[in-house]
């Protein structure tokens, strides 16, 4: 019979036996570096834009945002005309696109039979796939003249007493640009709304229908109320897209550095101005003023995005509580 | 059956909404409005696509694809812009996809929930930065003093691609069942091998969907390229140290020209670009379907 | 998965083959000694387009020039993102300082035409500087205005709103046009002034010479200022402009040549090359809206210096013969002399 004494096992010095593997460390390290890189990139973008805009920010201060001027001869700059253009075109696009998007999403989720919904959903998604420069090309050569020859005269006939529909119809202006933006926003907003509406619990809708409501009443009373925060977030995301669109707007808005009273007239927007003039800015004041415009645009886009995120987070928290 | 309603009796449900007939009318109106909206969206799409095809199709002969863009007052094609776009998009993919997948892996596999949430915010904010701001950023950072270059253009497009691919990858990684991970780790496979050889292949459908959608989006981006790769020779070139011509920039420049030949070339280039984007979107749907079938079978 | 990879390889192979095929088809016969990249003014682009194949043939230098506007030309050469810049506007003292040692060399000369789109007009429109200033200031808004009628008693001017079109990008054409208006109209000078980008009080903006030409083509009632070659190529009607001698002149070779009558016998500085609004002694045929256009080259151009000197020298000598069909006037001798002296300053 062998006598054995109990010996505690020696502490592991071999890393591999301890379960720490070189491959794991390396891999995690690379992944951390990638994540850091993404974060640093975001910070770098913000910093670089602000750094390039600093001379203008120091010269003009915050009043730049509500000053209406753009004179490279006297080096006097102000962003108001562009903020106005961005705001007006985006808001018009929002007002037109939101009900349309909600209606499309409702059609796809509640009304259409599955066989019809699939191809139409695909078509709406394809609308999102059209590059903005192609929409702008169509806007300049086809849509703009149509708006000038048919839509704007009709609007003037019907609503010409309003100042925004007065003036001479023109193929390049606030209205054509806003309509092109509408076409761009619809796919985004309707796709998000569609996702939202699918997730509405069927019991809630069924309950309403069981109580005798019509389908529209169920939608209005239950689905839309339930999804309202999500719709708000979708609207904001579409708005953010509209704010940032530079190319298609530049092609259709007419590039006039003024605040037009009529929506038929040409105006300008932040993105469009940057695209038109940045490469050709011939003085430091002009270049940094354009960067100041870019900084304003960045802030507006980020704010809209962040608000949309906050709404989504609150929405999810509320849903989980239900 | 409906009668002229008088006082509303709150306990009589058929009286509640002021008459069944009116409610049915409202219901029908809603239905019509919804259908009309969907049809309007489809009509717009069809109009844009049909116009582009109609105006551009006549230009699409063989010389169009083999001759470069013309100089002033001549006829030419899009060969140089086509090659340039292909090169720049490929480079952007090579730059963005590995980094995006690594970020997503970090978020899904390694990071604490708070860090993961923070990274989600970072990616979503990055996604919201307008393309033109990205263009100015790369211009100010890299182009000033060094000159334009296809590499800088690709870098700008990669910045746009990164958040899209990263978020798509992250979401699909979260859907991969935990049982796969546990089984692999229980068998003694190291964590990194688990991720690389087990989880990623399971998620590949969703990743490819995200990649394809992102590529379709950046293939048509003009603003970043305006500042980084817009001054290029009218010949086919593979020299990535300098600027290369691209389809979106070419369409942008031709769209404002009064020359009917230039406009026609712009339409034709738009046909090619839309065709490419459409093919990619169909591919994305194919991969998405594959992903769904795979995960359902797993 | 394998199928996807195979598809990917096929696509890459297809693109590579196409690229190779296209490249062999378009590569020039002679191997090029060097290549130069430039950008800037759209004004001389028709002429430069003719130069590019000729320079490749004669000197073996491959030139790339993208018309983006004089403002961009100045900005890009200042940032040294290109080898040379094109501009119709000479550099201001501030811009010269920022450019850190650049020479500005005139290399082409033409008139800025005023094309218009008035459907059904039974003749050529005549305008003068004051009327143009008022149109662009927004004080004259309709083509049947009495001020325009007075200059064109025999024309059937319609009741049509005027749309003045201007360059939205930094433009030497704008510089020349606003310079002319500032000379003629003190109101313009104080209200708007002269620069490559100005605050136009009214009208529509468009990018590049082709952009403004495009708007005029598609908008009834529009008028713009653009290099004569663009008007000719697009078959626009352009206005006759009244000069100081009382004649109504066209921006052809003869009209622009007459505008040079006041050039000094020896040109020593760029300020002597201002030829808008020529004096009365230049005669009734002198076109009042002519401008030189310049190439901007850094004096320390490294290994590109030799090619740049050869290119610019060729441009101001042999290149000029391509000009007249496009309404560019060959550079007068004293301007060539000035150019030679400036070219010598381009060093490594």
- pLDDT for res B16: 53
Put simply, the chain A residues between 111 and 140 with a CB less than 8 A from any chain C CB are 140
Q: What is the pLDDT of residues A95-122, one digit of tens each?
A: 999 999 999 998 888 888 888 888 888 8
- pLDDT for res C304: 87
Instruction: Please tell me the distance from the alpha carbon of residue A249 to that of residue A276, in angstroms, as a whole number.
Output: 11
A232 touches chain C (CB under 8 A): no
Structural domain contains residue C146:
yes
Do B144 and C216 lie within an 8 Å CB cutoff?
A: no
Contacts of C219 in chain A (CB under 8 A): 170-171
> DSSP label at A39?
H
Backbone angle region of C302, left / alpha / beta, with phi > 0 → left and psi within -120 to 50 → alpha:
left
Token duo for residue B57: 């199709």
Contacts of A217 in chain B (CB under 8 A): 17, 23, 26-27
Shortest distance between the Cα of B45 and any Cα of chain A, in A, equals 6
Q: Are both A304 and A190 inside the same structural domain?
A: yes
- pLDDT for res C146: 93
Interface test mutation site (partner A, options C75, C90, C141, max chain A beta carbons within 10 A): C75
Q: What is the pLDDT of residues B33-84, one digit of tens each?
A: 888 988 888 898 889 989 998 988 888 877 788 777 777 767 778 888 999 9
Contacts of C98 in chain A (CB under 8 A): 283-284
Residues of C contacting chain A (CB within 8 angstroms):
68-76, 94-95, 98, 161, 163, 168-171, 192-207, 214-215, 218-219
Q: Are both C237 and C326 inside the same structural domain?
A: no
Domain that holds residue B281: 62-297
Contacts of A291 in chain B (CB under 8 A): 136, 140
Q: Are both A253 and A304 inside the same structural domain?
A: yes
Q: Are both C104 and C146 inside the same structural domain?
A: no
Structural domain contains residue C144:
yes
Nearest to B257 among C26, C27, C214 (CB): C214
The DSSP element (H or E) to which C196 belongs, if any, is: none
Instruction: Please tell me the distance from the alpha carbon of residue A98 to that of residue B45, in angstroms, as a whole number.
Output: 18
Structural domain contains residue C19:
no
Q: Are both C269 and C147 inside the same structural domain?
A: yes
Token duo for residue B296: 């359902």
Shortest distance between the Cα of B67 and any Cα of chain C, in A, equals 7
Q: Are both B90 and B21 inside the same structural domain?
A: no
- pLDDT for res C133: 95
- pLDDT for res A201: 86
Question: What ipTM does this complex have?
Answer: 0.86
Closest to C192 in 3D by CA, of C219, C218, C166, C217: C166
Instruction: Please tell me the distance from the alpha carbon of residue C180 to that of residue C129, in angstroms, as a whole number.
Output: 8
Do B235 and C26 lie within an 8 Å CB cutoff?
A: yes
Do A104 and B267 lie within an 8 Å CB cutoff?
A: no
Put simply, the chain A residues between 200 and 239 with a CB less than 8 A from any chain B CB are 211-212, 214-217, 219
Q: Are both C252 and C169 inside the same structural domain?
A: yes
- pLDDT for res C310: 93
- pLDDT for res C131: 94
Contacts of C35 in chain B (CB under 8 A): 233
Do B237 and C52 lie within an 8 Å CB cutoff?
A: no
Q: Are both A119 and A154 inside the same structural domain?
A: yes
Q: Are both B31 and B67 inside the same structural domain?
A: no
Put simply, the chain C residues between 49 and 68 with a CB less than 8 A from any chain B CB are 49-50, 52, 62, 64, 66, 68
How many structural domains comprise chain B?
A: 2
pLDDT of A311 over the 90 cut: no
Q: Are both C250 and C130 inside the same structural domain?
A: yes
Instruction: Please tell me the distance from the alpha carbon of residue C277 to that of residue C287, in angstroms, as a whole number.
Output: 8
In order, the DSSP letters of C292-320 are: EEEEEEESB-GGGHHHHHHHHHHHHTGGG
Closest to A230 in 3D by CA, of A183, A271, A261, A189: A189
Contacts of A171 in chain C (CB under 8 A): 218-219
Q: What is the pLDDT of residues A220-261, one digit of tens each?
A: 888 888 888 889 888 998 899 899 999 999 999 988 888 988
CATH of the domain at C206: 3.40.190.10
Q: Are both B177 and B263 inside the same structural domain?
A: yes
- pLDDT for res B297: 58
Q: Are both A256 and A107 inside the same structural domain?
A: yes
- pLDDT for res B188: 85
Domain that holds residue C73: 35-109+291-343
Do A217 and B285 lie within an 8 Å CB cutoff?
A: no
Mention every residue, 6+ apart, whose C-beta is less than 8 A from residue A245.
A132, A181, A184, A271, B130
* pLDDT by 10s per residue, chain C, length 348: 556 565 666 666 665 555 554 444 444 333 345 889 899 999 999 999 999 999 999 999 989 898 888 988 998 898 888 899 999 999 988 899 989 989 999 999 999 999 999 999 988 999 999 999 999 999 999 999 999 999 999 999 999 999 999 998 888 999 999 999 999 999 999 999 998 888 899 999 888 888 899 889 889 999 999 999 888 888 899 999 999 999 999 999 999 999 999 889 898 888 888 888 999 999 999 999 999 999 999 998 888 899 999 999 999 999 999 999 999 999 999 999 999 999 999 887
Q: Are both A78 and A52 inside the same structural domain?
A: no
Q: Are both C146 and C276 inside the same structural domain?
A: yes
- Closest Cα in chain C to B85: C15
Q: Are both C306 and C271 inside the same structural domain?
A: no
Contacts of C79 in chain B (CB under 8 A): 143-145
Instruction: Please tell me the distance from the alpha carbon of residue B278 to that of residue B284, in angstroms, as a whole number.
Output: 10
Could you tell me the CA-to-CA distances from C228 to A272, B263, C42, C209, C284 in Å, in that order? 28, 21, 12, 10, 19
CATH of the domain at A82: 1.10.3720.10
Domain that holds residue A31: 3-58
Contacts of C94 in chain A (CB under 8 A): 283
How many structural domains comprise chain A?
A: 2
Token duo for residue A192: 């998000």
- pLDDT for res B222: 94
Do C81 and B65 lie within an 8 Å CB cutoff?
A: no
Shortest distance between the Cα of A82 and any Cα of chain B, in A, equals 15
CATH of the domain at B232: 1.10.3720.10
Structural domain contains residue C22:
no
Instruction: Please tell me the distance from the alpha carbon of residue A65 to that of residue A82, in angstroms, as a whole number.
Output: 9
B68 touches chain C (CB under 8 A): yes
Q: Are both C207 and C239 inside the same structural domain?
A: yes
b/e sequence C234-265, b meaning 16+ C-beta within 10 Å: bebbbbbbbbbbebbbbbbbebbbbbbeebee
Could you tell me the CA-to-CA distances from C46 to B143, B213, C133, C314 in Å, in that order? 28, 40, 28, 17
- pLDDT for res C85: 94
Q: What is the pLDDT of residues A182-218, one digit of tens each?
A: 999 998 898 888 888 888 888 888 888 888 888 888 8
Closest to C106 in 3D by CA, of C346, C338, C344, C348: C338
* pLDDT by 10s per residue, chain B, length 298: 445 555 656 666 665 555 777 888 888 888 888 889 888 888 988 899 899 989 888 888 777 887 777 777 677 788 889 999 999 999 999 999 999 999 999 998 888 889 998 898 899 889 989 999 999 999 989 988 788 899 999 999 999 999 999 999 998 888 888 888 888 888 888 888 888 888 888 888 888 888 988 998 899 999 999 999 988 877 788 888 888 999 999 999 888 888 888 888 899 999 999 988 888 888 888 877 776 666 665 4
Instruction: Please tell me the distance from the alpha carbon of residue C341 to that of residue B158, in angstroms, as a whole number.
Output: 47
Contacts of A293 in chain C (CB under 8 A): none
Do A306 and B278 lie within an 8 Å CB cutoff?
A: no
Q: Are both A156 and A274 inside the same structural domain?
A: yes
Closest to C329 in 3D by CA, of C112, C173, C181: C112
Nearest to A305 among B125, B227, B278 (CB): B125
Q: What is the pLDDT of residues C176-220, one digit of tens each?
A: 999 999 999 999 999 999 988 888 999 998 888 888 998 898 899
Q: Are both C204 and C298 inside the same structural domain?
A: no
Do B281 and A35 lie within an 8 Å CB cutoff?
A: no
Nearest to B99 among A21, A34, A134 (CB): A34
Q: Are both B198 and B54 inside the same structural domain?
A: no
How many structural domains comprise chain C?
A: 2
- Which residue pairs from C54-59 have beta carbons closer than 8 angstroms and sit at least 24 positions apart in sequence? C54/C318, C54/C319, C54/C322, C55/C311, C55/C314, C55/C315, C55/C319, C56/C28, C56/C30, C56/C32, C57/C28, C57/C30, C58/C314, C58/C318, C59/C33, C59/C307, C59/C310, C59/C311, C59/C314
> DSSP label at C330?
P
Q: How many CB pairs under 8 A join A and B?
A: 256
Q: How many CB pairs under 8 A join A and C?
A: 94
Structural domain contains residue B6:
no
Using CB atoms, which chains have 3+ pairs under 8 A with B? A, C
CA torsion sign for A284, A287, A293, A295 is negative
Shortest distance between the Cα of A76 and any Cα of chain B, in A, equals 22
Do C170 and A282 lie within an 8 Å CB cutoff?
A: yes
Structural domain contains residue B199:
yes
Mean pLDDT of chain A: 87
Structural domain contains residue B3:
no
Shortest distance between the Cα of A4 and any Cα of chain B, in A, equals 32
Report the 10 Å Cβ neighbour count for A38.
23
Single residue among C262, C289, C316 that ends a domain in this structure: C289
Q: Are both C122 and C54 inside the same structural domain?
A: no
Do C207 and A255 lie within an 8 Å CB cutoff?
A: yes
- pLDDT for res A2: 55
Confidence of residue A13 (pLDDT cuts 50, 70, 90): low
- pLDDT for res B86: 92
**pTM (predicted TM-score):** 0.85
Do B66 and C22 lie within an 8 Å CB cutoff?
A: yes
Structural domain contains residue B150:
yes
Q: Are both C197 and C210 inside the same structural domain?
A: yes
Do C75 and A74 lie within an 8 Å CB cutoff?
A: no
Q: Are both A199 and A215 inside the same structural domain?
A: yes
Average pLDDT, integer, range A22-36: 88
Do A31 and B103 lie within an 8 Å CB cutoff?
A: yes
């Amino acid at each position: 019979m062998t006598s054995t004494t109990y010996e505690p096992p020696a502490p592991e010095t071999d890393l591999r036996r301890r379960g720490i593997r070189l491959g794991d460390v390396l891999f995690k390290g690379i992944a951390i570096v990638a994540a850091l890189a993404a974060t640093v990139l975001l910070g770098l973008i913000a910093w670089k834009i602000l750094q390039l805009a600093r001379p203008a920010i120091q010269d003009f201060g915050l009043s730049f945002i509500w000053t209406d001027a753009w004179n490279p001869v006297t080096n006097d700059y102000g962003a108001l005309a562009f903020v106005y253009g961005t705001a007006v075109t985006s808001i018009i696009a929002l007002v037109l696109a939101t009900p349309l998007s909600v209606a499309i999403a409702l059609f796809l989720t509640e009304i259409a039979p599955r066989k019809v919904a699939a191809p139409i959903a695909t078509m709406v998604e394809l609308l999102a796939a059209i590059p903005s420069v192609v929409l702008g090309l169509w806007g300049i050569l086809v849509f703009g003249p149509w708006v000038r020859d048919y839509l704007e005269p009709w609007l003037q006939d019907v609503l010409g007493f309003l100042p925004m529909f007065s003036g001479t119809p023109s193929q390049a202006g606030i209205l054509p640009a806003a309509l092109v933006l509408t076409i761009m926003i619809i796919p985004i907003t309707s796709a998000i709304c569609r996702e939202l509406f699918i997730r509405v619990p069927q019991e809630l809708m069924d309950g309403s229908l069981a109580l005798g409501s019509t389908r529209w009443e169920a939608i209005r009373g239950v689905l839309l109320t339930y999804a309202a925060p999500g719709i708000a977030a979708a609207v904001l995301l579409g708005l953010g897209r509209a704010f940032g669109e530079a190319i298609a707007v530049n092609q259709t808005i007419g590039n006039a550095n003024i605040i037009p009273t009529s929506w038929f007239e040409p105006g300008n927007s932040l993105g469009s101005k940057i695209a038109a003039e940045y490469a050709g800015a011939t003085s430091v004041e002009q270049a940094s003023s354009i960067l100041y415009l870019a900084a304003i645009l960045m802030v507006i886009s980020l704010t809209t995005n962040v608000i949309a995120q906050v709404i989504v987070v609150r929405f999810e928290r509320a849903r989980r509580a239900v | 059956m409906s009668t002229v309603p008088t006082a509303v009796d709150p306990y009589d449900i058929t009286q509640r909404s002021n008459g069944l007939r009116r409610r049915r009318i409202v219901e029908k109106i809603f239905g019509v409005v919804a259908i009309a909206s969907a049809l309007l969206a489809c009509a717009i799409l069809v109009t844009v696509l049909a116009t582009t095809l109609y105006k551009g199709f006549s230009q699409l002969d063989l010389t169009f694809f083999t001759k470069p863009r013309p100089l002033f007052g001549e006829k030419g094609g899009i060969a140089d812009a086509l090659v340039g776009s292909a090169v720049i998009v490929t480079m952007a993919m090579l730059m963005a996809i590995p980094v995006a997948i690594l970020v997503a892996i970090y978020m899904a596999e390694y990071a604490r929930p708070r860090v993961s949430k923070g990274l989600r915010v970072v990616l979503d904010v990055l996604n919201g930065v307008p393309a033109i701001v990205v263009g100015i950023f790369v211009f100010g950072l890299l182009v000033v003093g060094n000159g334009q270059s296809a590499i800088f253009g690709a870098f700008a497009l990669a910045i746009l691609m990164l958040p899209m691919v990263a978020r798509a990858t992250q979401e699909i990684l979260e859907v991969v069942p935990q049982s796969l991970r546990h089984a692999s780790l229980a068998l003694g496979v190291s964590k990194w091998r688990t991720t690389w050889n087990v989880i990623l292949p399971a998620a590949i459908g969703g990743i490819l969907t995200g990649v394809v959608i992102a590529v379709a989006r950046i293939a048509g981006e003009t603003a970043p390229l305006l500042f980084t790769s817009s001054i290029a020779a009218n010949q086919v070139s593979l020299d990535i140290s300098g600027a290369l011509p691209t389809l979106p920039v070419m369409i942008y420049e031709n769209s404002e020209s009064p020359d009917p030949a230039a406009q026609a070339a712009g339409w034709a280039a738009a046909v090619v670009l839309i065709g490419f984007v459409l093919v990619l979107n169909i591919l994305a749907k194919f991969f998405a379907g594959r992903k769904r079938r795979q995960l359902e079978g797993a | 998965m394998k199928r996807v990879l195979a598809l990917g390889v096929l696509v890459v192979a297809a693109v590579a083959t196409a690229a190779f095929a296209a490249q062999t088809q378009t590569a020039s016969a002679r191997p090029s000694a060097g290549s130069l990249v430039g950008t800037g003014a759209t004004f001389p682009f028709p002429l430069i387009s003719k130069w590019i194949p000729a320079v490749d043939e004669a000197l073996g230098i491959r030139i790339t020039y993208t018309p983006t506007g004089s403002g961009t030309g100045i900005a890009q050469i200042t940032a040294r993102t290109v080898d040379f810049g094109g501009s119709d506007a000479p550099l201001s003292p501030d811009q010269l300082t920022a450019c850190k040692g650049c020479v500005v060399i005139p290399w082409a000369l033409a008139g800025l035409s005023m094309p218009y789109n008035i459907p059904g007009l039974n003749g050529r429109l005549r305008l003068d500087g004051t009327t143009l200033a008022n149109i662009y200031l927004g004080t004259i808004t309709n083509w049947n205005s009495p001020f325009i009628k007075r200059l064109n008693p025999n024309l059937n001017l319609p009741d049509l709103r005027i749309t003045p079109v201007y360059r939205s990008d930094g433009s030497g054409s704008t510089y020349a046009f606003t310079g002319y208006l500032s000379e003629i109209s003190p109101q313009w000078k104080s209200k708007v002034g002269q620069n490559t980008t100005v605050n136009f009080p009214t009208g529509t903006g468009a990018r590049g010479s082709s952009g403004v030409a495009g708007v005029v083509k598609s908008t009834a009632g529009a008028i713009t200022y653009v290099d004569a070659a663009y008007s000719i190529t697009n078959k626009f009607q352009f206005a006759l402009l009244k000069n100081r001698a009382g004649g109504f002149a066209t921006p052809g070779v003869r009209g622009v040549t007459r505008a040079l009558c006041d050039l000094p016998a020896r040109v020593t500085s760029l300020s002597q090359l201002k030829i808008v609004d020529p004096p009365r002694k230049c005669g009734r045929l002198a076109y009042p809206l002519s401008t030189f256009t310049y190439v901007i080259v850094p004096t320390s151009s490294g290994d590109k210096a030799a090619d740049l000197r050869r290119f610019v020298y060729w441009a101001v000598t042999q290149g000029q013969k391509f000009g007249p069909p496009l309404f560019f006037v060959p550079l007068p001798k004293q301007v060539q002399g000035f150019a030679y002296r400036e070219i010598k300053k381009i060093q490594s």
